[in-house]
Every structure is written in structure tokens, then in C-alpha cells.
Chain A
Amino acid sequence: EVQLLESGGGLVQPGGSLRLSCAASGFTFNNYAMSWVRQAPGKGLEWVSAITPSGYSTYYADSVKGRFTISRDNSKNTLSLQMNSLRAEDTAVYYCAKKVGVIPGFDYWGQGILVTVSS
């Protein structure tokens, strides 16, 4: 059974940093691209970042470029998102998501973790 379990969320002050992790199991992690998607309270879905199976290539939404860094450790089946210079507008539930394969789309999602940026 595929499982994605996020951790590392919480309350942080504006300008602060936080590191999210996503522990993956039930599939061959190093065969699949992964993404982070967020959802502000009461709002829609926003794609944040993606990383290729090897970790060689990374992609970011303009809203987080230069502040967030996605990475993965294929030896530990773990996806991470380092978030720096956090702003109030980064407040959201963050989901890690597994890409279907060669076809774009996310077939498995974590349960989500809340990040609140507030003083």
C-alpha cells in the first residue's frame, strides 16, 4: 500500500524557516517524480515544487522561487521541502504527491501538514 506521511509543519514567524519531510513507502520511490502542493485555508490547490526521480532536476512556482528548496533522499525514501523567508501568504496545508508515472497527474497524496506563518 502506497503511503506518504508529511511531517515538520507548525507555527513560524514571518521571515523564519521550516523544513517539511515526506516519508514514502509502498512503492519504488526512486522511480517517480514527486511534488509539493499547498492549499491556503478555504482556498484552492496551488502547485509549489517538483523534483525528478533522480533529484537532478527541480521546478518551482514563481511564488516560492528563491525561497523554497525541494530535495529527496532516495536511500531513505524521503522527500523534503526547505522553506526560508516565510511569509503570511505561505500559510497553508502542504501535501506531498506522487506523480503517476510518465503521465502528468498525482495518483497518491499525503494527508497534508499545516504550516502557519504568523507573529
Chain B
Amino acid sequence: EIVLTQSPGTLSLSPGERATLSCRASQSVSSSYLAWYQQKPGQAPRLLIYGASNRAAGIPDRFSGSGSGTDFTLTISRLEPEDFAVYYCQQYGSSPLYTFGQGTKLEIK
């Protein structure tokens, strides 16, 4: 089973700053199989990035994804007030079919 470890657990930044979130896999993951989600309190998750670097429909271009192998990154170039939320990475594998990281909480400093 592939384990995804996200860091940091909490990231405190101010609007306008750049956010860099990390997702490390215990084994190599195909880039095609890595996704990122944003979740706000009381809401369902929203797909941001699929295939490690492809923005989902309607996602602003300040969100970008990169990485390969075991190290993946979600970058938010300039934080907007609505970007403060919890972010999860997800991988698609064999057993279990999908796993999520434990999440990174992005909070306003």
C-alpha cells in the first residue's frame, strides 16, 4: 500500500504570499495518477489538479502542480482570501484503489 505524507501539517501565510505544499509517496507514483483537492469547512472536496500538473476545469491559474516519482508539489502563486482551506493529495493505485494524504491546513497568518 502506498502511503502519502503531506507537509507541513499546517501552513500559516498571508494573502498575496506564495504557498508550497508537499506530498511525498512511500513508493513511486505515476504522475498520471496524482491529484490535489481543496476542501473548505462544511463543503465537499473540489478537484484542483489531476495528472500531477493539469488544472481541473474552472481552477484559477494561480494553482499549479508539479513533481514526479515520490515527490509532488502544489503551488499557489499568490494567495487569495478564498484559498485558505485544507488541501489533500490523492493517488490511484492497485490496493487500495485510491489513497489520500492526511491533508495540509492552509491558514491565514
Contacts and interface: CB of A to CB of B under 8 A. Distances in A.
Interface of A: 35, 37, 44-47, 50, 59, 61-62, 95, 100, 103-107, 109-112
A109 B97 contact: no
Contacts of B103: 44-45
A67 to B, nearest CB: 15
Interface of B: 32-33, 35, 37, 39, 44-47, 50-51, 56-57, 88, 90, 92, 96-103
Given A50-B97, A100-B50, A111 B44 contact: yes
Contacts of B35: 104-106
Given A44-B100, A44-B102, A59-B97, A109 B44 contact: yes
Given A95-B44, A107-B57, A47 B50 contact: no
30 contacts: A35-B98, A37-B45, A37-B98, A44-B100, A45-B37, A45-B39, A45-B45, A46-B100, A47-B97, A47-B99, A47-B100, A50-B98, A59-B96, A62-B96, A95-B44, A100-B47, A100-B50, A100-B56, A104-B33, A104-B98, A105-B47, A105-B51, A106-B35, A106-B47, A107-B47, A107-B50, A107-B56, A109-B45, A110-B44, A112-B44
Contacts of B98: 35, 37, 47, 50, 104
A61 B96 contact: yes
Contacts of A62: 96
Nearest to B32: A103
B56 to A, nearest CB: 6
A5 to B, nearest CB: 12
